[in-house]
Amino acid sequence: MIIEVKDISKSYNGQAVLNNFSLNIEDEHSYIITGENGCGKTTLLRIILDLETPDTGKVTLLGDYKYPYINAGVVFQEDRLCDSFSAVTNCALVSKKVFKQTVREELCKLLPEDRVDIPVKMLTPVERRLVCIVRACCIPSDVLIMDEPFEGLSDGERAKAVSYVRDKMGSGSLVIASRDTAGLEFGRIITL
């Protein structure tokens, strides 16, 4: 499968953030979208996910693809967690195909075991971020799309999380928007 992003343009209040941007996102490849704040990274991801409509251009799926939409595991800039639920429950909610025991094992790869069953409102911002990463990787998907997934993580936490994401992407594709590309040199760096 290829996600074709073709000639995408988007403006807000007359200010262009994307101008005729094109990219083919292919299986088994990683793409690191980078640039300063306000350059269009989040807008591009939202357009790929069909959460926002471009002014011009289009996103299409090429190849033998079984869904009319992009089947993605997503990390948004904001964590979008249910505060009163545990990390395990937050991750298990994303799909009926995800089992709590599997989720617990995955969470324990990035978090201490005693943190995965307490309400996420009691977790630190870094721990919440790690829950978001695991949640995105638990969804059976064809592509992982992550918006600043490693924001706020220490160098060690970041390296561990990057390794985890790379392991979980499998044969799908990976798209990360990040101002900081440290440790992401494995992917094709695209500066907006």
Residues 168-187 have a mean pLDDT of 93
Q: Could you tell me the fold of the domain covering 1-71+142-192?
A: Rossmann fold (3.40.50)
First and final C-alpha spacing in the chain: 24
8-44 per-residue burial string, b: 16 or more CB within 10 A, e: under 16:
bebeeeeeebbeebebebeeeebbbbbbeeebbbbbb
Is the separation of the CB atoms in 120 and 82 below 8 Å? yes
Q: How is the chain split into domains, by residue range?
A: 1-71+142-192, 79-140
Residues 94-100 have a mean pLDDT of 84
Nearest CA to 122 among 93, 84, 89, 158?
84
Q: Which residue has the higher pLDDT, 170 or 15?
A: 15
Could you write out the DSSP letters of every residue in 65-109?
Answer: -SSSS--EEEE-SS----TTSBHHHHHHTT-TT--HHHHHHHHTT
66: confidence class by pLDDT, cuts 50, 70, 90: low
The string of pLDDT tens digits covering residues 1-17 is 789 999 999 999 989 99
